[in-house]
Homo-oligomer: A and B are copies of this chain.
Amino acid sequence: METTVLLDNVRRYIQLTPAEEKTFLSFFEFKKIKKKQFLLHQRSICPATAFVLNGCLRGYTIDDNGFEHILQFAPQDWWIADMYSVLSGNPGNLNIDAIEDTEVLLLPRDVREKLFEQIPKTERYFRILMEKSLISIRQRLMDNFSLSAVERYKLFSKTYPTIVHTLPQKYIASYIGVTPEFFSKMKKELLAKRR
Is chain A's interface secondary structure helix, strand, loop, or mixed overall? helix
Oligomeric state, in copies: 2
Least CB distance from A85 to B in Å reads: 9
CB neighbors of B among A10-56 (8 A): none
Q: Does A77 contact B (CB under 8 A)?
A: no
Q: Does A123 contact B (CB under 8 A)?
A: yes
Q: How many residues of A contact B (CB 8 A)?
A: 33
Least CB distance from A10 to B in Å reads: 15
- From A177, which residue of chain B is reached at the shortest CB distance? B145
**Contact status of A146 and B84, CB under 8 A, knowing A71-B138, A71-B141, A138-B71:** no
Q: Does A188 contact B (CB under 8 A)?
A: no
**Contact status of A141 and B142, CB under 8 A, knowing A131-B87, A134-B134, A135-B87:** no
Least CB distance from A69 to B in Å reads: 4
CA distance A123 to B119 in the complex (A): 13
Q: Does A182 contact B (CB under 8 A)?
A: no
Q: A69-B146, A134-B134 are in contact. List 7 more A-B contacts (CB 8 A).
A: A84-B138, A87-B135, A123-B123, A126-B127, A133-B134, A141-B141, A145-B177
